[in-house]
Each structure stands twice: as C-alpha cells, then as structure tokens.
C-alpha cells in the first residue's frame, strides 16, 4: 500500500523539539491558549513545517490505490462459496471445504454467502497472491478463532456487496493457529482493504474487533464493530476514506495503531466518510502521526479523544470530541489549520509541547 512512511516525523525532528526550551508556544497541560508561532524557535518551526509538508503529501491518491477503491469484479470470474451451516459447498479446487474451516488457497475472486456456525473463512495463498473476497450476506461465527483469518497473501480486498448485510463473530477465547496469535474476529497478517457499499457487523466479546498486522484501509461500506478490547487495530496504518461509515464500541481504544518493531510507522489517516467511536480507553491512539483532513469524526472516550506519541494535524472535517481526558494528546506537536472542531465535552484541550493554529 502506498504512503506507509509518508507521515512519519523523523527522529531528528523530535530531537530538535525536545532539545529546545523556553518557547512561548510550549503549552502546559490542558491549555486552551492559542500558540504564537511567530515566537517559536527555529527548531520548532522546522518541526511544524515538516508536519505541514507531510499533510500536503498525504493525499488519497497516495494513501489508497485504485484497486483499494474499486469494488467491481467480473461476474464470470467469481468463485462462489456457499455456506450451509456446518460447512460449505464450492466447485473450485482452490477452496478446501472439507470441514467447518473454509480455506482459500489460490489467488482469485471469491463470493461468500450463507451461514457458517463455529467455523472460519481462511485465506492462505502464496505470499505474492492477491485475493478479492466478496461478502454477500455471509454470516460466520467461531468459538475459538477469527471468523475471517488471513494467514498468508500479498493483499486481501474485502468487498461488501451492495445491499448485503454480513456478520463476522468470534464468540469465545482465541486459540493460536500455526504459532499465530489470533486475537480478533477479523484477523489479517497481511495488508487488508475493505470497500463496497454493503454492511458488516463485527463482534468480539473476548478480544479485538478487526486486526491487521500491516496496512488497513476502509474505502467504503458500513461497519458496526463491537469488541471487549481494541475495536480496530493495525500495526502499520489505519486509513479511512470516502464512502465509509465506521461505528466502533470498544472496551479499550476505538482505533489503535502501533508497531513495536518500527516506531516510524503506526499512523492514522482520516480523509472522508463517517467515524463514530465509543471507547473505554482512547478514541484513536497512534504511535506515529494522526491526520484528519476530512470526513466526520465523533468520539466519546474514557481517556483521551485523540492520542499520539508523535503529532496530530487537523486540516479539515467535522470533529465532535468528548472525553474524560484531553481532546488532543500529542508528544510532539498539534496542528489545527482547518475543520470544524468541538471539544466542549473534553476535560481539557491539549498537553502538546508545540501548538499551531491556522
């Protein structure tokens, strides 16, 4: 996926910022005072300009590929997988339907419909293969694993068929699969993109909702995610674009993006659609930058509404933030240069050491 490192603040910039002191724009905790950027140090101005540059570069064309946004498929090339309660039927040898675990083993487009009780849809294809999975009224529940599990692929595209309502539910505790620590109702080890115009309900009363170990993109569809832990979790990035309606109710973070192995990744990008988060921890929590350039974002969080170990930039969109903590927690900088922002429901605005307002 394009743009994985496009919005990472460099460690050099962080060193510049943390090395300066006494600036008039250095905010105290929960301050509402406007920043006076003209009085900032050269190091701080460099940090802000780097952040502005990254915002300019972070366009939809860079964040989403054409295929990410293309929900179409050729009807004569689709392999149909029909779930029938305890298993499934499929005429293609690329699909293993020998039990309640339905495994796709080759690249292609697969349409899934029907109901599967206590089973899983598994994608396990060569590492250079792409899979297009069309959910057309598919309802899958699992008592011990992910309802949708991607073990290996180059990338998986999940299309929610127009007018359809699908459901992916993990009802109980999770068991490891081939040394993979599965912990979400949807779990992908590889890049994962959702698109289309149908609806998907994801439920995980014992874990996370949607988990992706790489880049996770939402390019369309209506989602209702309920989870006892994080609602949406990714290592590299979470990207939300036009046509998406994402509603999350979670015991921990609504959206959580962090890669322990690479602190320069782990960012969130919201440019369109609608995101509604009810979170028992932070609304959105990221390791790297958090960018909001458009769309509608509503957050009700028990801690911070938006929380990052790097910087937050808001240049567009409508934000309605409510939290028992701060509206914006940023370890490096907070840039507010657009959008309609309501933080009246938060205990404080920000503790960012560097704040700039347009």
Concatenating the DSSP letter of every residue in 163-187 gives T-EEEEEE-S----BTTB---EEEE
Length of the chain: 358
Residue 36 has pLDDT above 70, yes or no: no
The structure tokens listed for 169 are 């539910």
58: in domain: yes
What pLDDT is attached to residue 181? 87
In angstroms, the CA 45 to CA 199 distance is 44
Paired tokens of 148: 């949708």
**pLDDT for residue 175:** 82
Angle 42-57/11-18 helices, nearest 10 degrees?
150
Identify the pLDDT of residue 40: 67
C-alpha pair distances (Å), 335 with each of 37, 49, 199, 320, 338: 11, 10, 34, 17, 9
Indicate the SS3 state at residue 42. Answer: helix
Q: Which of 24-33, 207-216, 262-271 has the lowest mean pLDDT?
A: 24-33
Contact (Cβ atoms closer than 8 angstroms) between residue 108 and residue 94: yes
* SS3 letters across 196-258: ECCEEEEEECCCEEEEECCEEEECCEEEEEEECCCCEEECCEEEECCCEEEEEEECCCCEEEC
How far is residue 102's CA from residue 323's CA, in Å, rounded to a whole number?
A: 42
Q: Which two tokens stand for residue 292?
A: 């909001």
Residue 129, number of CB atoms within 10 A of its CB = 18
Residue 339, domain member (yes or no)? yes
Q: What's the pLDDT at 148? A: 98
Report the pLDDT value the prediction gives residue 16, as an integer from 0 to 100. Answer: 47
- How do beta strands 95-96 and 101-104 pair? antiparallel
Domain residues for 268? 11-24+35-78+119-357
Residue 17: pLDDT over 70: no
CB within 8 Å of 220: residues ≥ 6 apart = 69, 71, 160, 194, 195, 196, 197, 241, 242, 243, 244
Tokens of 33: 């005072």
Q: Is residue 85 part of a domain?
A: no
> Is 46 inside any structural domain?
yes
Identify the band that residue 38 occupies on the pLDDT scale cut at 50, 70 and 90. Answer: very low
Among 57-61, 111-115, 179-183, 216-220, name the one with the lowest average pLDDT: 179-183
Q: pLDDT digit string (tens) for 328-337?
A: 999 999 999 9
Instruction: Calculate mean pLDDT across residues 273-285.
Output: 98
**233 close to 252: Cβ distance less than 8 angstroms:** no
Let me know if residue 183 belongs to a domain: yes
Which residues in 26-62 are b (16+ Cβ under 10 Å) and which e?
bbeeeeeeebebeebbebbbebbebbbebbeebebee
pLDDT, one tens digit per residue, over 107-121 is: 999 999 999 999 999
Q: What average pLDDT does range 51-70 have in this prediction? A: 97
Distances (CA, A) of 41 to 22, 103, 241, 347: 9, 57, 35, 29
In a domain, 174, yes or no: yes
* Residue 30 maps to a domain: no
pLDDT interval class at 2 (50, 70, 90): low
Q: Quote the number of domains for the chain.
A: 1
Q: Is residue 87 part of a domain?
A: no
User: What is the pLDDT averaged over residues 169-180?
Assistant: 84
pLDDT of residue 179: 79
- pLDDT mean across residues, the chain: 90
pLDDT at 3: 53
pLDDT at 29: 36
What single-letter DSSP state applies at residue 91? S
Of the two residues 246 and 26, the one the predictor is more confident about is 246
- Where residue 41 falls among pLDDT bands split at 50, 70, 90? confident
- 320, containing H or E segment: strand 318-330
């Amino acid at each position: 996926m394009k743009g994985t490192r496009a919005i990472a603040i460099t460690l050099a910039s962080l060193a510049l910022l943390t090395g300066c002191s006494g600036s008039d724009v250095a905010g105290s905790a929960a301050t509402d005072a406007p920043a006076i950027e003209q009085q900032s140090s050269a190091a701080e101005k460099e940090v802000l300009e780097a952040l502005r540059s990254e915002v300019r570069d972070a366009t939809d064309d860079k964040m989403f590929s054409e295929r990410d946004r293309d929900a179409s498929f050729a009807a004569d090339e689709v392999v149909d997988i029909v779930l029938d309660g305890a298993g499934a039927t499929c005429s293609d040898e690329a699909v293993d339907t020998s039990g309640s675990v339905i495994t796709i083993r080759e690249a292609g487009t697969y349409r899934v419909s029907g109901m599967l009780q206590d089973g899983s849809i598994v994608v396990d294809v060569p590492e250079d293969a792409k899979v297009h999975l069309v959910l057309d009224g598919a309802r899958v529940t699992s008592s011990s694993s992910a309802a949708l599990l991607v073990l290996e692929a180059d990338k998986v595209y999940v299309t929610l068929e127009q007018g359809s309502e699908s459901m992916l539910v993990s009802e109980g505790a999770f068991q490891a699969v081939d040394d993979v620590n599965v912990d979400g109702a949807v779990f992908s080890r590889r890049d994962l993109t959702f698109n289309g115009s149908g609806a998907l309900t994801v439920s995980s009363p014992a874990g996370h909702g949607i988990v992706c170990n790489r880049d996770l993109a939402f390019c369309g569809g209506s989602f209702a995610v309920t989870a006892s832990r994080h609602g949406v979790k990714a290592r590299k990035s979470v990207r939300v674009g036009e046509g998406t309606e994402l509603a999350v109710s979670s015991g921990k973070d609504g959206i959580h993006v962090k890669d322990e192995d690479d602190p320069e990744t782990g960012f969130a990008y919201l440019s369109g659609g609608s995101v509604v988060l009810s979170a028992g921890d932070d609304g959105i929590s990221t390791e790297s930058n958090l960018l909001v350039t458009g769309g509608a974002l509503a957050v009700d969080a028990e801690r911070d509404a938006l929380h990052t170990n790097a910087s937050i930039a808001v240049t567009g969109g409508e934000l309605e933030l409510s939290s028992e903590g701060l509206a914006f927690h940023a370890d490096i900088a907070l840039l507010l240069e657009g959008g309609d922002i309501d933080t009246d429901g938060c205990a404080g605005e920000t503790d960012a050491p560097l704040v700039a307002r347009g």
